[in-house]
Amino acid sequence: MQPYRALFEQSVTPLFVVDRSASGSMNVHANAAFRRVAGWAADNSETALLRCFPLDASNVWAAIQTCDAQQAPYALTVSWGESARHWHLQLSPVVEGSYRAVHGTLLQGALPFSESLDTLLSQLPGFIYQLHYSVEGKWRYAYVGKRVVELFRVSVEEALTDAQTLLNSIHPDDREAVFESSSESARTLMPWQQEFRIFHRSGKMLWIEAIDRPRREPDGSVLWTGYANDITQRKALETALKSSEQRFRQLVEQANDIIYTLSAEGTLTYVSPNWPRILGHPVAEIWGRNISQLLHPDDLEACRRYIAQVYHTGQPQGVIEYRVQHAKGEWRWHFTNGAPLLDEQGNVTSFLGISHDITPRREMEQKVLHLAQHDSLTDLPNRAIFFSQLSDALVKSQRQGDSLALLFIDLDNFKPVNDRWGHAVGDQLLREVAQRMRLRLRGTDMVGRIGGDEFVALLGGPVRDDEALAVANQLCQALAEPFALSVGEVGVSASIGVSLFPLHAQEEAALIHCADQAMYQAKAEGRHRAVLYSPIGSTDAPTC
């Protein structure tokens, strides 16, 4: 099997190809994953494909025509079955000379294993048997499964009575190879596997794959226990794909996703030619490098375990998300569907990955999270996230025996600014106030806006009461300096209340209350000052 055919057929992602070369007709090929997921019919026709989308057949047909006519990618959501499971169908046009095709990909996080297994088993024609070879050189079936009737229109009784009923149906060109390899298996007692042609009783020719395990009987005869499977469709597809290897090469090279293979150690043994377009590195520079050199350090261990699991189990492992470095140095978020590539003995020879760039989705998620946690005007942490982080800081400080300080900051004379110049200027002032406080605080400190012209700041510890009051006074002085706004220089001041953990309170609510009371004390004493909380009302409150 050629490498591109293997990439297509063994991919865990459901794929199909619609040949549009002949006007008004379609010839369709689907890989094993698509056949399992969608319930593939017995022929490679337009009708067979559309039957896979019973709820969206007209939409899929229209999308394929649009993709081919406009020579542009097309995407739509499809669903089917009683559960109406939703999938994302991506269509891509492919043109090579007179050859035109549309490449389809079904994307979903993971397919339930039970559904995949049930669909696969319901479509596996074949029968189990036991074939006996006597020391006199005679063949007879000791057991024949009931599916033999469906496969060859030969009854179980006929096969048990005379083994030649089936054995004589083997194609004359394959008969010698079948019996010679069977004799070798009888001599060595090694497992036997063979693909050969056999005739149905109606005269139709079938391709059969038989897999046997021999056992030596006490009398010297040999008994094979095996399974014969109808691989006629697979053989027909292999023949078609073999003649169009270059076409599948085009599909791999023009796919929207990166296709790659890895050794067990993580060395890149193949990357599709679209890697430079997506990640910037030349293919020659990437081929032979270890994937760990491109992955984000925080994602490296999880990716190593994922690759090792594919090699260890020989099974697809679903989807993993990780960061990979672009040639420009930036980190891009990708997800990969990983699956094993197997040799004829079923051993894992390589890791096959299909990597999709999800950076826009990740960036959108981060933006949504940021908006939920930050004040939209000043971009400072909002009330919810500030007090959540305050709670975490208190737990950490209590565990480590540290102290920290909480500052309540209220602007003086902010309302006259709004009344005189309007809310637009007031908003401009609040943004400048936030920026000035950011610049005056340390990297370990945090400042947030809790509403209107009210702000809070958390000073990381350990911090003494005189240090906290000094920082508050510096903020007080900084905010008293005029602000250059669109209407000219505008002046305000601030009243700041300071409380310390655990000096003034050991509980979050009590600490907040203390800082709030100290701020109101600063207001009462004439504003434009910082006040350290005092439980008896005597405060050190110098004017800024």
Residues designated as active site: 453
Residue entry with tokens 């299909």: 354
**Pure H helices in 129-282:** 147-152, 156-161, 164-167, 172-188, 232-243, 245-254, 275-279
Report, in angstroms and rounded to the nearest whole number, the Rg of the chain calculated over CA atoms. Answer: 36
Angle made by CA atoms 308, 309, 312, in degrees to the nearest 5: 85
Q: Which own/partner contact pairs does 435-438 have at CB distance under 8 Å and 24+ positions apart?
A: 436/478, 436/479, 437/409, 437/475, 437/478, 437/479, 438/380
3-state secondary structure 13-25: CCEEEEECCCCCC
The neighbouring-strand residues paired with 214 are 224
Cis preceding linkage at 502, omega within 30: yes
Q: Quick one: DSSP state of residue 543?
A: B
Q: Give every strand in the sheet of 15-19, ordered side by side.
A: 27-30, 15-19, 99-107, 85-96, 74-80
How many residues in total does the chain contain?
A: 544
- Output the six-digit token pair for 453: 């012209």
Q: Rounded distance, CA 496 to CA 453, Å?
A: 12
Q: Rounded distance, CA 323 to CA 315, Å?
A: 23
Residue entry with tokens 């006597």: 134
User: Do 477 and 528 touch, CB atoms closer than 8 A?
Assistant: no
